[in-house]
Amino acid sequence: MPDHPAERITVADVAKVARLARLDLPDDELEHLAHQLAGMLEHFADVDALDLADVEPMTQPYPLVNVFRSDVVTPGVDRDEVMAAAPSSEGGRFRVPPIIGLEG
């Protein structure tokens, strides 16, 4: 059997991933996810049969070069319309709870 990290995925690993993904999940959901993620990653062992040593990774299908537009001012989205969609705003700015001084 190939030594896949999936075989060792623990609830603590999943809890760390949930923190990275900014998902506040209860313990029972973390346990369920540990089980499901391990199950899904098991399928990935299929590709161990392939020789990938000299294969160039493919990140997207179309050979893109940097795209520039001409430096001309064009109308953007309406600021009031954007701010109207915010859960909380003040004076044309997004309002959020405190960002420092509390445990996160």
| Contact set with another protein (CB under 8 A) | 4-5, 9, 13-14, 16-18, 20-25, 33, 36-37, 39-41, 43-44, 46-47, 50, 52, 55-62, 64, 67, 69, 77-78, 81-82, 84-88, 94, 96-99, 101-104
E-strand stretches of the chain: 89-90, 93-94
Closer to another protein by CB, 91 or 97: give it: 97
CB 53 within 8 A of CB 59: no
Q: Quote the Cα angle for 93-24-85, to 5°.
A: 25
Question: What is the nearest approach in angstroms of another protein to the Cβ of residue 62?
Answer: 5
